[in-house]
Structure 1
């Protein structure tokens, strides 16, 4: 009996343990039930409207004795046309001088109170300590009502803008972004027009004043006040400093909504020497935050390519190793938004990367997201939302969005609750509506020789320049047509002829450039046979030099010298040649003709020049003149592009007087030739290597 009781107890304990383990196993198979979404209590904001139409939004926060004022000009879409870029220049000039203060005096006044004040095409921003709020507002209102648009500051700003545009032409990601804007919207839409050297050079002070007078009106503007101030105080300050601002009529021009292409097309920009291709798959979308499916679209994009745990990133970087990162973005807008999926990829895998992009598009559209994947994305988005709420400025942004987009008053208070209710079916519906792999622009910036032919598999290939202008596809060399040697011979003839060039035994060249207000001078001395010395000075101080005497050489940089290595010596031998084109055959250079291509709007022959060490240089020769107009060289240090222009004759020989070098610094260097002389009888001592 006792034994039976013991067995019974063991049986019951075992049964209990079994049931417990089974219950735990069943528990693990089920995702835990979602907790109710927490209620969000955003900081309160108060909105009022002044008699002149200026809408005042106030977010009160007394944690720190600081206050900020953002004057936001909600200007309607407008085409700037031949003066593209005028809005940004006009806005920037507001902070560069008023009727009462020069730019220097404004900067001094701002620094004295430890404030921060800036201006742009969309208005003014100022922040500082609460005790200095009147001084901040006085400076801001002075800029708003009394700008003088000083000519000197205008010219400085124009030079900075042109320098930035020149630099962007050498940045493949910037090029891809510009071309994406153009093909996505078209140049007849404000979002598709680009600022270029031509448009910026046409901008005048009068055009800036006209833009300011047209769009800086209170009845289309918001004043967002955040910080250590009460709504009543803020309204009083707004009335005091901006109440006299006169309202005005601002006309709105209707623009046809851009649409995605009927079928996918490839939009290609050639960038010789690129070892990577930038891919941007993009198209316009009609998406506003007020749409019922907006949040589902944002969740879908976060899952697709919004972060480093997204499908694109995990596939293209972690799995395939094609890139350092691949992402997507969907951007809403009051007029028209856009979708983009992009990354930079090795030339060899450019086409493979596009295939993977398209497979991820298909998977997102055709299959339901798994609950655990959706839960991860929701958790990430909820955490990001919570962190943003730590900033009072976020509350102001949400308040502005609510007003601009016509959102419900509790739109952001219910954000987490609405996020928690997004379903896999809603995600798939959003993907099917907004992911359009069959109606996309595939923008690619890369090397024509390495990737262009592979892109035909994805659609019609259209060619563009860096400003988004359509250009002809590079013409392949015709069978039995012109040769590389003939192009070189024409160049030699164009600059003076073989006989004159062979008679040159030494060359002295001096060029000068301006870098951020500093004068940079480059002096090149060459002497036959095979001697060269190149020095670069800044404000009279030598910063770099190299010298080669035909056998040995050294490089000096900021006072530190080192002997040239074997590779450097070989390169110096080529650089020492006064007219290297005369010696290509003798020295064993290989020449390859690659057809014609547009360079700065003119047709040019493309020739690959390879030295005996295997270093390649892509050179372009104007079809009409025969002059060399561009060269591109890729090395371990990166890709250097040199453009040659303004050829002038001296002693029967034509040489360029303008040389632009890009890729060495973050911005291009535009050199002007100060002097060039031949057969001066240079002393061998100038090339001595100590």
Structure 2
């Protein structure tokens, strides 16, 4: 038995060494980038492990361009699949289902995205459908009306789950009228007024190859795929005007701590976020910030979770994260608690943040966080879909392959002094923004401890 145990230990150690070596040696696979005459950037990465191809497309047509029609970008992206000049929606669904392929489209705050996954043998058929969806959508009115109805039902249903909507309220409260405050899925009042004609106009104004990119990763010949993509997408008409990036416009950052109290009369819990302005995705300290946040609230054994869940039992889980965009971002602490422990949970969350600033972190904690981050790194970029998404992000957020190739080295280079500088520079300690969803009559006095309170009902449209 002793010999068997020793062998098992030896095997486990060997596997750990191999895994660590693999992580330390991970480099982004080679890929080719070129640009069509209409401005479309194309990334091609050959991966011959399995006979599959993944596509990721990003177009500057996100919610920041909604204007007063919140939800328009999202509905437009979804409606791309409602038929084309050659296919009805039913035909698209049938064709893809028959060969086991998938095409999905959606919108984020900044861009619209289309992804596809299919077998190599079906590339000609699927790529032609992808091309028609992007270049020749029909925006069938009946299908649009059905999609709009589904969205309106979803908007009503999600109000029953505070965790599903609290992030939207936070963004609106922080950014105000800035486009980063736009609610991606819209609100009932705005979505009700949207028409198929609005979607067509939004498409015509925003779906151009200028500043867009298509990435393909998988089992193909780069030379042959380059010819195919050039033929398919060169006819995509270039936009006539250079579109303004509305996200670059300044917004008024908070000058004091404030509270948004969202009344949900039947709530037995209080769901809350505590946050502040954060960082953009291409911040040069992104990796260092990620390491420190892993220790603070980014993993199960974090400072936040230890204090709010393990040591005090105030919640089933607490976390923190930096939500990054191209030109800005947010930092949030998030959790939920029984309505009777609202004050204790809020106090404890603020206390943990204050301790981070007052005490910093020690060498053992930093080493633990660094090992955790390095251990999570390579699995994020294993599949063709993950790699296609990564190349799209690199294009959109303007960071290069050095982020991947030097990842472990940059993690290892983070020393204690720099880590504590990161805390002082990027983790907020004042002017905090509190978003509380719960029964206002029971928690308003508590909310007032943390700053001036703005109170709305969860059924109201947020306007600040």
**Cα deviations by residue, 1:651-674 (Å, 9 ceiling, x for unpaired):** xxxxxxxxxxxxxxxxxxxxxxxx
Verify the 8 A CA contact 1:175 1:445 in the aligned structure 2: no
Q: Deviations over 1:226-284 (max 9, x none)?
A: 10012212211111211211111341154533354212111101111211100101222
Q: Residues 71 and 183 of structure 2 are in contact (CA less than 8 Å); yes or no, is this contact kept in structure 1?
A: no
In the other structure, the counterpart of 1:178 is 168
Q: Is the Cα contact below 8 Å between 1:316 and 1:323 reproduced in 2? A: yes
Alignment match, 1:454: 446
Match of 2:46 in 1: 60
SS of equivalent residue, structure 2 residue 114: strand
The Cα shift of 1:224 comes to 0.5
Residue 270 (str. 1) matches residue 260 (str. 2):
no
**Which residue pairs with 2:191 in the alignment?**
200
Write the distance in 2 (CA, Å) between the matches of 1:191 and 1:176: 13
Counting helix residues as a fraction of each chain, which structure ranks higher?
2
Matched, 1:161 2:161: no
Aligned position for 2:313: 321
SS at match of 2:33: strand
For residues 86-165 of structure 1, the aligned pairs below 5 Å read 86-121=72-107, 122-165=112-155
1:443 aligns with 2:429: no
**Partner residue of 2:340?**
348
Q: How far has the Cα of 1:408 moved from its partner?
A: 4.2
Aligned residues: 437
Partner of 1:393: 385
Once residues 461 and 299 of structure 2 are traced to their aligned partners in structure 1, the CA distance between those partners, rounded to angstroms, is 29
Matched, 1:333 2:325: yes
Q: Deviations over 1:481-512 (max 9, x none)?
A: xxxxxxxxxxxxxxxxxxxxxxxxxxxxxxxx
| 1:439 match: secondary structure | coil
Tell me the equivalent position of 1:46: 32
Please tell me whether residue 247 in structure 1 is matched to residue 238 in structure 2. yes
CA 1:58–1:382 in structure 2 vs 1: closer, same or farther (change >3 Å)? same
Work out whether 1:281 is the aligned partner of 2:274: yes
The offset of 1:209, in angstroms, is 0.4
Which of the numbers 411, 421, 428 marks the counterpart of 1:429? 421
Measure the CA separation in 2 of the matches of 1:238 and 1:470.
44
Kept after mapping to 2: 8 A contact 1:263/1:439:
yes
Q: 1:313 to 1:225 in 2, by over 3 A?
A: same
CA distance in 2: counterparts of 1:172 and 1:421, whole angstroms: 40
Q: Report the CA distance between 1:77 and its aligned residue.
A: 6.8
* Separation of aligned partners in 2, 1:175 and 1:408: 33
Q: Deviations over 1:8-34 (max 9, x none)?
A: xxxxxxxxxxxxxxxxxxxxxxxxxx9
SS at match of 2:137: coil
Preserved CA contact (<8 Å) 1:75 1:220: no
Task: Tell whether the 8 Å contact from 1:77 to 1:253 is kept in structure 2 after alignment.
Answer: no
Q: Note the C-alpha offset of 1:175.
A: 3.5
8 Å Cα contact 2:54-2:115 kept in structure 1: yes
- 1:281–1:340 Cα contact (<8 Å) kept: yes
Q: Unmatched 5+ residue regions in structure 2?
A: 1-19
Larger displacement relative to structure 2 (74-83 or 127-136): 74-83
Q: 1:406 to 1:108 in 2, by over 3 A?
A: closer
From the superposition, tell whether residues 185 and 371 of structure 1 become closer, same or farther in structure 2 (CA, over 3 Å). Answer: same
Match of 1:612 in 2: none
Q: CA deviation at 1:470?
A: 5.7
- Superposed CA RMSD in Å reads 2.2
User: Max radius of gyration: which structure?
Assistant: 1
| Contact in 1 for aligned 2:54/2:384 (Cα 8 Å) | no
CA pair 394-112 structure 1, distance change in 2 beyond 3 A: closer
Question: What TM-score does the superposition give when structure 1 sets the normalisation length?
Answer: 0.61
Deviations 1:82-119 (A, max 9, x none): 32111111111111112222111111111222211222
> Gaps spanning 5+ residues in structure 1: where?
1-33, 472-690
CA distance in 1, matches of 2:165, 2:397: 31
Q: Deviation string for 1:524-558 (max 9, x for gaps)? A: xxxxxxxxxxxxxxxxxxxxxxxxxxxxxxxxxxx
Alignment of 1:541-560 (within 5 A): none
Distance 2:167 2:303 in 1: 23
Q: C-alpha separation between the residues in 1 aligned to 2:90 and 2:174?
A: 42
User: TM-score, normalised on structure 2?
Assistant: 0.89
Change in CA separation of 1:204 and 1:136 when aligned onto 2, cut-off 3 Å:
same
Q: Is the 8 A contact 2:23 2:377 kept in 1?
A: no
Residues 1:284 and 1:393: Cα distance change in structure 2 (over 3 Å): same
Residue in 1 that maps onto 2:365: 373
Q: Is the 8 A contact 1:462 1:470 kept in 2?
A: no
Aligned to 1:635: none
Residue 311 of structure 1, CA deviation = 0.4
Distance 1:239 1:348 in 2: 62
2:67 maps to 1:74: no
Q: CA deviation at 1:455?
A: 2.0
Change (3 A) 1:105 1:405: closer
Per-residue CA deviation, residues 122-151 of structure 1 (Å, 9 max, x unaligned), is 142222111110000111112222221111
Displacement of 1:450 after TM fit?
2.0
Report whether the alignment pairs 1:231 with 2:222.
yes
CA distance in 2, matches of 1:396, 1:108: 25
C-alpha distance after superposition, 1:47-70 (max 9, x if no partner): 111121111111211011111222
For the residues of structure 1 that align with 2:175 and 2:319, how far apart are their CA atoms?
Answer: 21
Q: CA deviation at 1:432?
A: 1.6
1:293 paired with 2:279, answer no
